[in-house]
Chain A
Amino acid sequence: MMRCRAISGFTLAEMIIAMAGTTVIVGALLFSSVELQRSLHASESYASNQSDQRRLLDCLSRDMRRSIGVATTTTLNGSTGTRLANATATIEDNTALLLTLPGYYQSNTPTDTNYDQPLSVVTTNNYVDYGSGTEHAPGVPVIFRKEYIVDEGCMCFVRIEGDSQSIIVKHAENFHLTVAMSADGCSGTVQVTYLSPRFGSKTLITMRDEILLRNIRLD
């Protein structure tokens, strides 16, 4: 007696239908994957930009809060500044923000051993302040500038204190910083906006901080 061997396979119609279904399913999966990737990339970009904005805002706020002078400058070393009061300045191109901090440390050279040591208090005309001998310490100029850093190959926001320069934000091409001082010059609003090139001039993220100057301005 002969045993019949089962012959199995897919018919052409089954194959075609299966391929069509697979195409639809895989296509849907790919589309979802691409969109998911875009969404997650946007989230990462948002988080990264927000982190940069917050860091710039916090760094600037920390210095501005204790400053005794707020001005804008167009010179590289901040030798000349225009007092900022009842006005708004955009820190862009050649315009930098010049803050004068009260003298507090024994040295402003990072490599010195007393770089982080505070000065003593001294008195002049019955007024007490930090200094040495019988003189109060002079103010320390700090410059915030947006400039192209060759080593980084991109626009960066930098903080310059004396000969020391530190980068606050890299890839700052689309970041914009404005400082608005009140009429009495005792408070200010710092705003950092991010403009995405993909959306033209539409602002995507804005972070703002209101700062009350804790010291009397001497400028």
Chain B
Amino acid sequence: MKTRSTPRQASALLITLGALAILSIAAAYTLRRVTPRFQMSSQAAAWQEARLAAESGIDVALADLSRNATGTQDGNWRGWQQKQPNGLIGPVLSNTLGLVNSLLSLLGGSPVKVSSPIFLDNLQSVSPGNRPTNVDVQLWAVYPTPSPYYRWFRLRAMATCALPPTATSTFDSLEATLRRFSLRDVRPQLKKDDVGTPMNVPTPNTSRVVEVLVEPVLPFELAILTDQSLSLGTSGTWTVDSFDSRDPMKSGPDGLYPGKGSAQVQSHGNIANNAGRQADSIYGPLISANGCVVHGAVATNGGDDPVTDGHENIAGATGIDASQIRSDFYREIKPMARPTSGIFLPPPSIMPFYVADDESHPTQYLVSGDLHNFGVAPWTGRGNGALIIMVNGNFDVPTSTVSIPPNITVQIFVRGNIDFHNRPINQGGLAGQLQIYGEETNGEPRILRAFGNAKINAAFYGPQYDVHLMDAVDWTGAIVARSFEMVGGGNGGFHYDEALGVVGAPIGFRIARYVEDVRE
């Protein structure tokens, strides 16, 4: 009899699939908890990129400040925009940031005048991962004094960086408080920093705002600054010191230099040199102090071996406080251009008495040839007076002197050589009242010279000029030049007036205050 065998069926496949399903569910559950945290890393990276982008916007604005806001006249602010009087957005007008013609406002009782803002709209950049990033930068000019040259600037940059399309809200409230992502809509508070055309970075995104206050680097912040060689007096009694004509406790009668050895003499006669050493000899002298006594800091661009106790960057440093020697200095100095707009008067013909006007709009003279000794008519107006003399030839004073009455500032722009011979220049006046600017030389050699017992009260800015002083020249003020050499010196000296630290048109800018607006 045949028996039918029953089919045998196995369930291994079902069991395997079931086990896999259970394991997969476990893994998926955990990944579901872990993935958002890792995704938050990517979102946090975008948050970091936004700050870097905002700081890049500040850098762009600083570069444009150097191009457009240094010297005596503004540039054309190419690429910047402003809100026109008719409410439309357009290019910056030439007088937008000017003291006189701009829309000035007094903010909250502050005595500081602030101009209307100009802005850079929708600067584009790409962050790592090809995330689009958008930066808006705003700029205001701030006038703490009546001078049209002494301007601070307020810069505010908002950068928005895109998040991954799959960005999610963090389940961690602590993270949300710190990062404040815009997942669907941008926070209303950010709208006021999105100037001009609305930004084109889609949500989800993250924004950060950085704001800086920028102060001008003025030409006479140091007693002596050179781009190349700097050699101090060789007499052994020649000194560099300082005083402050604004402070009776730090100056002599009428704010003049109180005299060597006086208790009012200060120790801020700081000198510096931009020149660096050759690559094959990085340690060695950059300033020849020649045993001079310097009451102030002495700084070079390298040259000092940090391993040794001595200061290789200064030769003959016996008269210098070793703790005041530095080797980390560099400051770019460029020739300052003369004004190119306004009315240029011919020099006075009968008597060499120039006439000043209010310092907010100084009188401008153009001397086609050489300028010699001259005087200035007393100032009878309110506040201070000022005048500008532009000299196409040399500034040569072989006889007589240069005389400037109180409360008047004279700025002289020179294209030729400057020779004071052994004459007294601006005696009885403050150094800040006579500012001499040596212009671009186009490669031609230019010098400033004085010898004998010349006593000079002036501030000189000529980055392409070589200054040669000899014998017993006594200089009160400041000098910025390509090179400086004092041969001899006698009992003379170099006396820096600390009041010069706030005069002159800016030669650059530096950040004085950095904040991040974290509450917006």
Tally A residues with Cβ within 8 Å of B: 51
Q: A51-B40, A122-B111 are in contact. Are A168 and B519 (CB under 8 A)?
A: no
B329 contacts A by Cβ under 8 Å:
no
List the B side residues contacting A127 at CB < 8 Å.
Answer: 144, 215, 512
The answer to whether A215 has its CB under 8 Å from any CB of chain B is: yes
Q: Within the assembled complex, what's the spacing in Å between the Cα atoms of A102 and B142? A: 19
Shortest C-beta distance, A171 to chain B (Å), equals 11
Tell me if B112 and A6 are in contact (CB < 8 A).
no
**Residues of chain B lying within 8 A (CB to CB) of residue A48:** 37
Nearest chain A CB to B287 CB, angstrom units = 22
Instruction: Give the complex CA separation of A96 and B146 in angstroms.
Output: 46
Contacts of A66 in B (CB 8 A): 514-516
Q: In the complex the two chains form, what is the Cα distance from A166 to B38 in whole Å? A: 24
Segment at the A interface, from B18-26, B69-77, B256-264, B361-369? B18-26
Binds A, one of B121-129, B170-178, B315-323: B170-178
Question: Within the complex, which residue of B47, B110, B175 is in contact with A120, where a contact is CB–CB below 8 Å?
Answer: B110
Which of chain B's residues 467-520 have a Cβ closer than 8 Å to chain A?
502, 511-520
In the assembly, what is the distance between CA of A47 and CA of B31, in Å? 11
**Given A66-B516, A130-B513, does the pair A122, B26 have CB atoms closer than 8 Å?**
no
Instruction: Knowing A40-B31, A43-B30, A66-B516, say if A29 contacts B23 (CB, 8 Å).
Output: yes
Q: A66-B515, A126-B150 are in contact. Are A55 and B142 (CB under 8 A)?
A: no
Is there an interface contact between B178 and A44, defined as CB atoms closer than 8 Å? no
How long is the Cα–Cα vector from A131 to B215 in the complex, in angstroms?
A: 16
* A residues near B511, Cβ cutoff 8 Å: 214
A126 to B30, CA, bound (A): 61
Q: With A50-B41, A55-B175, A121-B142 given, is the CB distance from A36 to B519 under 8 Å?
A: no
**Is B282's CB within 8 Å of the partner chain A?**
no
A interface footprint on B1-28 (CB within 8 Å = 1, 0 otherwise)? 1011110000000010001001100110
Tell yes or no: B449 within 8 A of A by CB.
no
Say which one of A57-65, A71-79, A84-92 lies at the interface with B. A57-65
Q: List 15 A-B contacts (CB under 8 A).
A: A6-B5, A36-B23, A37-B26, A40-B30, A43-B30, A62-B518, A65-B516, A115-B519, A120-B107, A120-B109, A121-B154, A127-B144, A130-B213, A169-B174, A214-B511
Interface residues of B (CB under 8 A from A): 1, 3-6, 15, 19, 22-23, 26-27, 30-31, 33-34, 37-38, 40-41, 44, 47-48, 107-112, 114, 142, 144-145, 150, 152, 154, 172, 174-175, 177-178, 189, 211, 213, 215, 502, 511-520
10 A-B pairs closest in CB distance: A40-B30, A214-B514, A123-B144, A47-B37, A116-B519, A120-B107, A120-B108, A128-B152, A120-B110, A8-B6
